[in-house]
Amino acid sequence: MMWLSIGNPYFGPRPFGYGYGYGYGNGFRPGLYGPTYIYTTPATVYVPTPVVNPNVVVNSAAAGVAPPQQQQLTPDDFAAMPIERQRELLLQALNALEEDFARSPNGDDWSRHLELATVAKLITEDEGAPELTTRVRLRAVVQLFDEVAANADFKAVSSLMSFRSLQAGLHEFAAEEIDRSRRQLSLSAATFSKTLEAWSSGERWREYLQLNWLIGTEEEMKIDLDARLERFEKLLNKFDRVKSDDQFQVVTEPREFGMTHEALRGFVGHLQALVIDLRNAEQEAPKPALILPDAPKPAE
């Protein structure tokens, strides 16, 4: 049987990951998906994932549904699809994983451990794009998939294409837009950097445009959001100046420059909005009342 596959053909580590989680960018987590840029939901929004029985058919074979043909999609391809198509492909991967577990003597245990019933419910819970609480709950479940994938003892499960397809698809389905834009910037900058390798002055341009920073470094996760925003804004201004100067046309003509420039502009916009939201949230947060003890009475 064949089903959707999202990512590279071997589902191995990707050079640039896409982040998810909570904490507003206060973590750098290398792992299966490479560096992850966590710019998303604060921990206080976390909602524990309940185990529920979804009103969806999980076993596609029992429902008489013909197995879909395999497709090869990048995360960006998947993200660009209509939300209903994303749901359809995720349910196909979920059905395939349930069928794989049905052939295993402890498949029911794995289905419960990975909360597949909950996954099916969350995928179909919202009419449009998944709402904030749904995304947070999905990311909590995806952590279970990541833990299994990181454990060599569970390779028999994590090597299943159905498992890897669902894991990759859920990562993208539950991601925040700012995480996607950061990944796109990383990929665009890496492609542009590769193009510059053939230039005699390529190394100087890579340093001037700070492409290694745009691709992603651990340093980014070690500084606060305001400092990050300032640095990305300065780089955007630098790209704008290069673009507007005709003497640098040989640099700006390649498609890779334009893609990196636009990806940087998009990410800066998302980061600016995030910083504003955080500042507003801090201003709106109620200040704790100061309760003083009674004044001491003079001794009689």
Among 9-13, 111-115, 179-183, 220-224, which is the least confidently predicted range? Answer: 9-13
Which letter does DSSP use for residue 101 in this model?
H
Cα–Cα dist 149/14, whole Å: 14
Residue 22 has pLDDT above 70, yes or no: no
Residue 7 has pLDDT above 80, yes or no: no
- How much is the pLDDT for 24? 33
End-to-end distance of the chain based on CA atoms, in angstroms?
Answer: 91
- How much is the pLDDT for 201? 92
Place of tokens 């290398």: 30
Cα–Cα dist 215/192, whole Å: 10
Q: What is the mean pLDDT of residues 252-278?
A: 93
Helix (H, G, I), strand (E, B) or coil at 112: helix
Residue 125, Cα to own-chain centre: how many angstroms?
20
Predicted TM-score (pTM) of this structure: 0.61
Helix (H, G, I), strand (E, B) or coil at 134: helix
Residue 61, Cα to own-chain centre: how many angstroms?
31
Of the chain, the percentage scoring pLDDT greater than 90 comes to: 49
